Amino acid sequence: MDQFMERAVELSLANVREGGQPFGAVLVKDNQILAEGVNKLHKIQDVSGHAEMLAIRRAQQALKADSLAGSIMYASGEPCPMCLAAMYMAGIEEAYYCASVEEAVQAGLGKSQIIYEDLRKPKAERRLSMTQMPLAEDRENPLELWVKHSSEKI
């Protein structure tokens, strides 16, 4: 097993021994570990406290960078949709995982599969109801303000 995946699995095992879920993540760039994380839901009561999310946060804070392009995520379990989206948003283009979502479901950790399935459905058929509420015509538009401020910086 690759050394970085081995580390992710070690982190996940230690987390289970401490009462947490079996998820660990290692973020690597240029063959060096940028950051690590384990699922902290049991300690911080924060649904975003997933191993991959924490590794991404730590790396971005340490590097003071929005982009983690060129880095590789090693995760003991297949990333959930939230972590996958964060990886996309951070510019991570490569990831490896050990246990699949299907294996996690068999272990009683099935939320990721439910979300992945729900995202395949049209918006109107998803479990989470979402309705667009357009801005009032007389209200300043934050997107237009952002475009204006962005163009002034060029």
Q: Fill in the amino acid letter for 124.
A: A
Q: Which residues are catalytic?
A: 52
Give me the DSSP letters along 103-139.
HHHHTT--HHHHHHHHHTS-GGGSSS-----PPPTTS
Q: What is the DSSP letter of 27?
A: E
- The whole-angstrom separation of Cα 4 and Cα 143 is 40
Please state the length of the chain. 154
